[in-house]
Amino acid sequence: MVGLGNPGAEFERTRHNLGAEVVELLATRRGQRLRPEKGTRAVVAQSRLHEQLVVLAVPQTYMNESGLAVSALMRRFRVPATERLVVVHDELDLPSGRVKVKVGGGTAGNNGLKSIHAHLHDQGYLRVRIGIGKPPGREPGADYVLHRPSRAERGALDVAIEVAADAVDVIALEGVEAAMLRFNSDTPG
């Protein structure tokens, strides 16, 4: 389970770091701390869930180089197929605060996903998408994702982070179909 974002204090709590925030929350829920993992370009926590190893990771590369860390993580932890990979990320094409689960697909302009596609050569991984909405007016998407949201929007995104973490847990415990049924309807829960 990989949460996308950018490293460094200047990017904390920005829209583009929501995926990383979800994985940090999941580690906290499991009583774990993310720590650097040699050779992966990521911070990692490992735990067991029903006798199965679960790896939580946040790349320490910039978003547009996420594929370097994801491919290294898949090798390091011998992930047999991309269907076992869950990537949590921000999504301009969803309303702010909306969470959806998806299998495969395009990048929707997300440079982290573009990098993952380029390194894995396979789009079949699972995604937990957190909506951040479209930028207002003519603000470029690249600028919008790197800014911190307003206090009101941040409140909605904090709720979405909790929901996204729940979606990841449902994927791990019940499977992607159950997560899609629960989180992709207009009234999740």
User: What are 51-101's pLDDT values in tens digits?
Assistant: 778 999 999 999 999 999 999 999 999 998 899 999 999 999 999 999 999
pLDDT in tens, 88-146: 999 999 999 999 999 999 998 899 999 999 999 999 999 999 999 999 888 888 899 99
Question: Is the distance from CB of 177 to CB of 103 less than 8 angstroms?
Answer: no
Q: Which two tokens stand for residue 170?
A: 């449902």
In what helix (H) or strand (E) does residue 52 lie, and over which residues does it extend?
strand 52-59
Residues classed as catalytic: 16
CB 57 within 8 A of CB 85: no
Question: Is it the case that residue 188 has pLDDT exceeding 80?
Answer: no
Domain ranges of the chain: 2-183
Which H or E element spans position 68? Answer: helix 66-76
Say if pTM beats, i.e. exceeds, 0.85: yes
CB–CB of 128/99 below 8 Å?
yes
Band the pLDDT of 189: cuts 50, 70, 90.
very low
Q: Which CATH architecture has domain 2-183?
A: 3-Layer(aba) Sandwich (3.40)
